[in-house]
Structure 1
Amino acid sequence: MDGTFEKRKKIIYALICDDYYIPMKLKEIAALLQVPKDQRQELKDVLDSLIGEGRIRVSKKGKYCKGETQTLTGVYQANPRGFGFVTVEGREEDVFIGEDDTGGAFQGDTVEIVLTREKDSSRQTGRDSGRRHRCEGRVVKILERGVTDLVGLYEKPKKKSYGFVIPDNRRFLEDVFIPEGKDGGAVDGHKVVVELTDYGGSGRKPEGRIREILGHVNDPGVDILSIVKGYDLPCEFPEKVMNQAERIPDHISEADMAGRKDIRDWQMVTIDGEDSKDLDDAVSLIKKGDSYVLGVHIADVANYVQEGSALDREALKRGTSVYLADRVIPMLPHRLSNGICSLNEGEDRLALSCIMTIDGAGHVTDHEIAETVIRVDRRMSYTGVAKILEEKDPEETHRYEEVVPMLRQMAALSGILREKRHRRGSIDFDFPEAKLILDERGKPVDIRPYERNTATRLIEDFMLLANETVAETYFWREAPFLYRTHGAPDEEKLRSLAIFINSFGYTMHISGKVQPMEIQKLLGRIEGTPQEALISRLALRSMQRACYAPENEGHFGLAAKYYTHFTSPIRRYPDLQIHRIIKDDLRGRLNEKKAEHYRKILPGAAKQSSQTERRAEEAERETVKLKKAEYMSDHIGETFEGVISGITKWGMYVELPSTVEGLVHVSSMHDDHYEYREDRYEMTGSHTGRTYRLGQKIRVRVAGADRLQRTIDFEIAKEGGKDHGESEDRREDDRQQQEGLS
C-alpha cells in the first residue's frame, strides 16, 4: 500500500510540475485524473503529503501549485488542546500549526516552519461568515528550546522509584517523567521546579530532574510562588544591585536641588490606593481667570538610576513591577521605590513636572516640562477623595479641609477633559476588575468588582493629559523617544461585528479606515439596552493590544495622535527611559551623538518592555484565576445568576457579579444536543430549539473548582436553589485586553 501511495505522489507531483499545468483546485484535479468521488479523500491525502514535504503549496484561492518552499522562523505558542501558533516577526498574523504538524515543539520554542496553506482572504457568507482563515504551517525544525525549567506538581506512584511532574502551565501538554534518583528529595504533593533533560518525542515523555522544591501544594503562599517561578519572575535583587541601592541617600541635598524649579510652596497631593507605598505621581491645580494650571509631578527616578548601572540593567530586565494577589515584585529595590523616589507627604523630593495651562474647553494652551523640587502636602486615597467629592462626607471633608477647594476644582477640570476626549472619539470600556480580599494565610475570603470612582477617573484624566502633552512635545522636536502605540482594530473582526449588529438594528460605518468615533458611537447607542453586554464584548475583542515603539503611530483607543508613558517611572521601564531623554534635552545635552545613542537602544528597550508587560499581565491573570478557583471551591453546589461571557464548541463561559467566570461544558448539557453557531455567537439545541447567546442572563450551579488547573465548572441550574448574585458584564480576558489598550 505504501508503494502505491508513493507512486501516486510521483504522478501528482509530475502533473503539478508540468510546464503546461495551470493551478487547480482539488475538484478540478480529480476531474482531470478521473478520480471517483469515493476516492477523492485518497487524492487529498496524497496532496497533503506533498504539501507537508514542502514540494507543493496551496494558494489563497485553494489552488495547488509547485512548492517554491519558503521557510519562516518564529516562536511557537502551544494551545492546551494540542494545536498551536507560530509568531513570525514582521507578519501581521500568527501561523496556525495543527496538532499533527507541531514536530515536537514545546511552548516558547524558536522553530522553523513551512507554510502549507496561505490565508483565504475571500469573504465568507452564511454560517461561516466572519470566520478567520489563518495561514497554516508545519514545524520542520526546532532551532532553540524556549523553556528549560517547568513548575508543577510532583506525583510519585506508590511502591515506585520514579515519579512524574504535572506542569502548571496547560500549554505543556505532557507530564514530565522523573527517573529514580532525580527527584531531589521531593515527595508526593510537592510543588517543584523541574529542569528538562530530554524533550521526548516518538511516544516518549519528556524527562527531567527536580531542581527546587517550593513546598507542599497546601502550604500557604506556595500557590502564588509557583506562578512566580513558572513565569520566571525575578524575586531577589542581585547583591550588586542592592549594594548600589544602599549607597543612595535617603534624603535630598542642596546640591540635588541646584538648577531646579523650586515649587515646594505649591499645594499638591498624591491620590492612590490605601495600600500603595510607591507614590510616583502628585498633582497640583490653581485657577487663573477662566484657565486652569494643572501640575503633574512625577518622581525623578532617573536622578538615582543611571543608564548602564547595575540598577538600570536589572530594571530593564524586569521591565515592570508585578502586582500579584499577596505580594508585589518591584522593578526597583524598596529603598528606592518606597523611599527616596516615593513622593511621601511632607518630604522634599526631586520630580519631573509637566505643568499645563488648560482653557475652559480642555485645550492645553501652554505647557512647561521642568526638573523640579516638590513637597506633597497630603497623601490621600481614592476612597477618601471619593467620599469628599461624591458623598460630601463631613468627617473626611473636615480632615482634609485645606485641600478640599483644590479637589473640587480638580473634579471640574476632570469632567472637562473627559468630555473633550469623548468628543474626539476616545473609547471607554468600563469593565470592572476583580478585587481579591485575602486573609493572613492568603486564602480568599471575598471577591468583588473593583469599581472606578470620581477619584480614580480624576487621576486617570490628568495622567492621560500629561502623557499626551509630553508625547506631542517630543514628537515635534523630532527627538528619539518611546511611544505607547495602539493600532486600528482587526478589519475582519469589525466586519463580522458590523454584520452581526445589523440583526439588532444597529449599524457601523467601516468602509475605508475605521475611526474610533464609530466604536464609541456604537457603545453609546447600546448603553442600557439588553444587547449592551454582548456587543461591548465583541467590540473589545476586535481591538489590538497596545505596545511600546520608537515610532509614533498614535493611539487608536484613546483617539490620540501622540501618546507615551511618562507618569510611572518607579514601576515601568519605558517611563524611566524617556525621563532620561527629557532630562538630557532640558540640560542641553541631547546632541546628535547622544540622540544617535538613544536611537540605537530604543528598539530593544521597546521590545523588552512590551514582552515583560505581557508576562506580568499573564502572571497577574493566572494569580486571579487561581484565587477565584480557590474561593469557589467553598461554594460547590451553590446557585448563582450570571451572564454568558463566551461561547465555544466545548461550552459556555458564564461570569458572575463578583467577576468569577466558569465553564458550562457542553457534555453537561444533557437535555439536548447543542450546535455551536460561530457566526451568531450562540448555541442552539437541535431538539428543543433552546438557544443560549453571548450576553444572556443565566442561572448556574457550581459543579467543581480546580485550584491546580485554575478552572471553575458550572452546570445549568434547574429552578429553585439559593441565588447568590445578579448578572454583570465582565470577563477576565476582557479585563486584560482592556488594560492592553492604555
Structure 2
Amino acid sequence: MAKRVVPLPSKGEILKFVELSAAKVGKREIARAFHITGDQRIELKRLLAEMAEEGLIGGDRRRSVQAAGQLPAVAVLEVVDVDVDGELTARPAMWDPDRPVPRIVVAPGRHAGPAPGPTDRILCRLERVEPEAEDAPASYVARVIRTLSTDLDRVLGVIELDGSEARLKPTDKRAKYDYVLASEDLGGAQPGELVLAEVLKSRAFGPKRARVRERLGRVDSARAISLIAIHGHGIPTAFPTAALEEAAAAQPVLLGDRVDLRAIPLITIDPSDARDHDDAVFAEADGEGWHVIVAIADVAHYVRPGSALDQAARDRGNSAYFPDRVVPMLPHELSSTLCSLLPGEDRACLALHLWLDAHGTKLRHRFERALMRSAANLSYERAQSALDGNPDEEAAALLEPVLKPLHGAWSALMRARAERSPLDIDAPEKVIVLGEDGTVVDVRPRARLDTHRIVEEMMIAANVAAAESLEATHQPCMYRVHDTPSRERVESVREFLATLDLKLARGSRLQPAQFNRILERAAGTPHARVVHEVILRAQAQAAYSPENIGHFGLNLARYAHFTSPIRRYADLLVHRALIRGLKLGEGGLSPHEDEGFAETAQHISNTERRAMAAERESTDRYLAAFMADRLGAIFSGRITGVARFGLFVALDESGADGLIPISHLGDEYFTHVEHAHALVGERTGTTYRLGDAVRVRLEEATPLTGGLRFSLFEGGAYDQTSQKMRDTRKKGVAPRRAPSRGGRSRRR
C-alpha cells in the first residue's frame, strides 16, 4: 500500500498554531503537529523561511518561531523605564528593529533576587493583552521569574581620552582591560566622568566596546567614592514612587491597645553620628537580680506584608553604610522619623521585658506592643563618661536611675557570658573622618567602651528571647546561624598552630572555648596577632536561615535578629512572626511569607554580603585617596595575607592595606608554605609570615580602584622553623623566585 502523503499546512494554519501555542515552537513542533515526515520536512523548512522573509513569523538563534510582532509565553526582557507610579515597562531583549515594539508592563510581585530596574534583564512569563485599537502594537503583562545576572553586561568606569579615542577605565581593580567607546556611545559624557556602561558585543580579538548608560558625575569629586561602590554592586538608591507615597502617608501611632511605657526613662545609646535610633534600653534592680526592658521600633506597624514599602525593603534587604552617606532600607519618613526613637517623641515599639538573676541567667521574659517616649539619646562616649564620673548635665540626671542600673544588669550578663564562653575575637575597627568637602581628614581606631558592650549584650539577650518565643509559639523563625568551622579549615589551623608549638586538641565536637584557650596561650607572645588572624579566618560566614543550626561564634543554641528592623529585613520578619504568634495585633506574618522563607533567607544573606563588599571597597578607596599624597613615606604595619605572588600588609596607623609584590622581597627563591602562612627564602631562610611586623614604603596609591602598592623597607627574619616548613611543604607548591627590583610590579 502506498504511503499516504499529508499535504503541507498553509501559512495561515502555521501562523494560527504558533499564536495559540503556550510553549516555545520550533520546526520540530510544527512538523509533529501537522504529521509532516521524510522529505516533506525540507519543504516545511523552505515554507518557514519564506514566511520569515515575508515578516509573518520571527525567531531566534535556537530556531524557535513565533508570530511576527508577538512574543512566546516565556521570554527575556530588558527593563526600559520606571514611571511615576513605580510601574516598570520593558521590551524584548531580542527584537526586529523594523517592527513596532510591543508594550510590556511588568506586574508587581515577589521573585528571586533584587527588584529589577532600568537596563536590567529579566526572565518573564508573558500574558498577551488585546490592544484597545486594531492598529495598536501588541501589549503584554510580564510576571518576573527571575532577574538575570548583569555582572558581565555592565561596567562602572571613568572616561579617558587616548589620543582621539575615548576609553572607559573600569573602577574594578580586577578588570583586565579598558573599553573603547564610539562617539555615538558616549551619551555626552566627558573625560573624567564616572559612568555606568553597557558592554557591547565585540569580536573575540580586538578592543572591547561599551556604551554609556548612566552618567554619575566627576570621578575626582568626593561623593564619587561611595557612588562607585554603590553602583558597582547594584545597590538600589531610589525608592519606587508607590513606596514613597506609603511612607509619606504614615502617621504617628496613638496609644490604643498598646501598653503605655512613656513614664519609663528608656534611653537610646548610639554612635555620635548615628542616622537612626531603633533600640532603647532600661534596667532596674529586681530583688537580687534585674529587670531589663529592650524596646525596638515597631516597623511592622508601618510596613505591611505585600505593600510597596515591603517590596522595596525586601529588595534592599538591609541598609548600607558608607563614610559619607547611608543607603537606607526604608524611606526617610520612616527610618529617620516615625520609626526612629527620638527623645521626647511618642513612638510605637515592640518591647521585651527580661528578668535576670544575679548571675545573668534569664528567669523569664515577655513581649508586648507598646508606646514609649525616649528620655534621651546619648552617644557611647557621653554615656561612658557619665559612668566614669564625668557626666554632662543631661547624662547626670540619668546616671542613678538609668545608667548605673544598666551597668549592673550588664555585669550580670557578663557573668553568664563567661559561663557560656563564646568565641573571644575582637577585630579592631577604623573610623574614617571626613571634612566638610568630603575628603578624608583623619583615620582613627574606633574605641571599644563598656557602653558598647552594655548595649551589645542586651541586644544578644533580646535576640535569643525572640527565637525562643517563636519556637514556643510554633512560628517560622528567620534564624541568624553561624556554622561550626569545616573539618578542612580546622585541620589547617591545627597544622599552623603546630609550627608554633601550640596544640588544638582533637575532640568529638569543636567548641569556641577550645579556640579561646589557644588565644589565651598566645596572648603576650610575638605570635598573638597571627594566631588571632588564623582562627578568625577559619570561621564560617554567618547567614540567615529558616533552619536552625545554632550560632557557633556566640555559642548559642538558637539566635535570631530582632533589634534592628529599620535596617535589616530579617528583623522585620521576626517582628511579624512574634506579632502573629503572640497575637499582638495587626501586621503579623502572612501565609505567603511562610512559603517563601527559604528563598527570602538566601536573598537577604546575599544582600548583606553585597552591602558588606560595597562598604569594604568604599573604605579601601577612601584610604587610597587619603594616602595618595604620601608616596615615598615609610609606615609600620603587619602582614595580613601571604600569597605566592607577594605579601598583603595592613598599616598600623590607618588600617589601609596593600600589596608588596614578590619582586620587592630580595633576589632569591621563595617557597610559599601554605599551611604555615609564610614565604620562606630558599637560600637565606628569611621568612615572612602572617602577623609579622614590617616597615614598608608606599610606592603607589590608586584611589579609583582602592589599590595600594608597597615595597619592603624593613622586616622578615631568619626563622628557626623555616627548614622544617620547607621540608613539610605541600606537594605541588613550587618555589618562586623574586625578580630583581627592576622587575615589573603587580598590583593587588
Distance 1:699 1:243, change over 3 A: same
Within 5 Å, give how 1:4-43 maps onto structure 2. none
**For 1:292-343, what per-residue CA distance to the aligned partner results, in whole angstroms no more than 9, with x for missing partners?**
0011100001101111111111011111111011111111111111111110
1:702 paired residue number: 698
Does residue 622 of structure 1 match 2:623?
no
Within 5 Å, give how 1:239-258 maps onto structure 2. 239-249=241-251, 251-253=252-254, 257-258=255-256
1:346 paired residue number: 344
For 1:718 and 1:276, locate their aligned partners in 2 and report how far apart those are by CA, in whole Å: 41
For 1:561 and 1:227, locate their aligned partners in 2 and report how far apart those are by CA, in whole Å: 36
1:303 paired residue number: 301
1:280 paired residue number: 278
Does residue 153 of structure 1 match 2:158?
yes
**For 1:163-212, what per-residue CA distance to the aligned partner results, in whole angstroms no more than 9, with x for missing partners?**
322222234433233234211122332211101232x4632444221112
For 2:283 and 2:162, locate their aligned partners in 1 and report how far apart those are by CA, in whole Å: 67
Range that drifts further, 522-531 or 448-457? 522-531
Is the 8 Å Cα contact of residues 356 and 364 (structure 1) preserved in structure 2?
yes
Within 5 Å, give how 1:356-375 maps onto structure 2. 356-375=354-373
For 2:615 and 2:625, locate their aligned partners in 1 and report how far apart those are by CA, in whole Å: 15
User: What is the one-letter code of the residue matched to 1:647?
Assistant: V
Paired residue total = 570
Within 5 Å, give how 1:88-167 maps onto structure 2. 146-160=151-165, 163-167=166-170
1:233 paired residue number: 235
Is the 8 Å Cα contact of residues 221 and 441 (structure 1) preserved in structure 2?
no
For 1:700 and 1:164, locate their aligned partners in 2 and report how far apart those are by CA, in whole Å: 34
1:292 paired residue number: 290
Within 5 Å, give how 1:260-659 maps onto structure 2. 260-389=258-387, 391-393=388-390, 395-396=391-392, 399-587=395-583, 596-657=591-652, 658-659=654-655
Distance 1:352 1:201, change over 3 A: farther
Larger Rg, first or second structure (1 or 2): 2
Distance 1:633 1:686, change over 3 A: same
Query: What TM-score do the two structures reach when normalised by structure 1?
Result: 0.74
Is the 8 Å Cα contact of residues 644 and 653 (structure 1) preserved in structure 2?
yes
Is the 8 Å Cα contact of residues 466 and 574 (structure 2) preserved in structure 1?
no
Is the 8 Å Cα contact of residues 225 and 622 (structure 2) preserved in structure 1?
no
For 1:369 and 1:329, locate their aligned partners in 2 and report how far apart those are by CA, in whole Å: 30
Distance 1:692 1:439, change over 3 A: same
In structure 2, the gaps of 5 or more residues are: 1-119, 123-147, 716-748
**For 1:96-137, what per-residue CA distance to the aligned partner results, in whole angstroms no more than 9, with x for missing partners?**
xxxxxxxxxxxx999xxxxxxxxxxxxxxxxxxxxxxxxxxx
Distance 1:363 1:300, change over 3 A: same
Cα drift, residue 252 of structure 1: 2.8
1:213 paired residue number: 215
**Aligned with 2:200: secondary structure?**
strand
Is the 8 Å Cα contact of residues 701 and 716 (structure 1) preserved in structure 2?
yes
User: What is the one-letter code of the residue matched to 1:209?
Assistant: R
**Aligned with 2:315: secondary structure?**
helix
Distance 1:604 1:342, change over 3 A: same
User: What is the one-letter code of the residue matched to 1:536?
Assistant: H
For 2:510 and 2:179, locate their aligned partners in 1 and report how far apart those are by CA, in whole Å: 48
Distance 1:243 1:145, change over 3 A: closer
**For 1:492-538, what per-residue CA distance to the aligned partner results, in whole angstroms no more than 9, with x for missing partners?**
12112112212323211233332222112222222222211001100
1:113 paired residue number: none
For 1:477 and 1:630, locate their aligned partners in 2 and report how far apart those are by CA, in whole Å: 53
Is the 8 Å Cα contact of residues 198 and 213 (structure 2) preserved in structure 1?
yes
For 2:488 and 2:570, locate their aligned partners in 1 and report how far apart those are by CA, in whole Å: 32
- Selected match of 1:190 from 184, 188, 193: 193
Query: What TM-score do the two structures reach when normalised by structure 2?
Result: 0.73
2:737 paired residue number: none
Range that drifts further, 596-605 or 279-288? 596-605
**Aligned with 2:272: secondary structure?**
coil
**Aligned with 1:715: secondary structure?**
strand
For 1:318 and 1:370, locate their aligned partners in 2 and report how far apart those are by CA, in whole Å: 28
For 1:715 and 1:547, locate their aligned partners in 2 and report how far apart those are by CA, in whole Å: 38
For 1:398 and 1:240, locate their aligned partners in 2 and report how far apart those are by CA, in whole Å: 41
**For 1:564-599, what per-residue CA distance to the aligned partner results, in whole angstroms no more than 9, with x for missing partners?**
0000000111111121111122227899x9775342
**Aligned with 2:547: secondary structure?**
coil
For 1:274 and 1:648, locate their aligned partners in 2 and report how far apart those are by CA, in whole Å: 39
Is the 8 Å Cα contact of residues 292 and 409 (structure 2) preserved in structure 1?
no
Range that drifts further, 578-587 or 328-337? 578-587
Cα drift, residue 216 of structure 1: 2.5
**Aligned with 2:671: secondary structure?**
strand
1:682 paired residue number: 678
User: What is the one-letter code of the residue matched to 1:659?
Assistant: G
Distance 1:145 1:523, change over 3 A: same
Is the 8 Å Cα contact of residues 397 and 404 (structure 1) preserved in structure 2?
no
Is the 8 Å Cα contact of residues 382 and 395 (structure 2) preserved in structure 1?
no
Distance 1:415 1:203, change over 3 A: farther
Cα drift, residue 670 of structure 1: 3.2
For 2:509 and 2:300, locate their aligned partners in 1 and report how far apart those are by CA, in whole Å: 40
